Amino acid sequence: MRVTSKGQVTIPQNVRESMGILPAETEIEFLQDKNGRWYIVKAPSRTKKTSRFRSAHKTAKLTMSTDDIMALTRAG
């Protein structure tokens, strides 16, 4: 894995998925054991703040057609 000039690396998708790491929502920590090995761990979340867009996903009921919505946006 290559490290950028800014010290950044890409966490592989399968690792992110298995650890439950979500972009812009998950904090990680680097921990070192007594043998000097480094580990990445998912940090405990400070607050249970979920993006309003992520929480609204698939919860709305569509009662208006696209044409009705477009007419509302163009009204006035």
The total number of structural domains that make up the chain: 1
* 36 found inside a domain: yes
pLDDT digits (tens, 9 = 90+) for 40-58: 999 887 666 667 676 666 6
- Structural domain range at position 64: 13-74
Q: Quick one: what percent of the chain has pLDDT higher than 70?
A: 79
Instruction: Provide the whole-model pTM.
Output: 0.52
* 59 found inside a domain: yes
CA nearest 30: which of 19, 42, 18, 20?
Answer: 42
* 41 found inside a domain: yes
Q: For residues 8 and 10, what is the distance between their CA atoms, to the nearest angstrom?
A: 7
* 6 found inside a domain: no
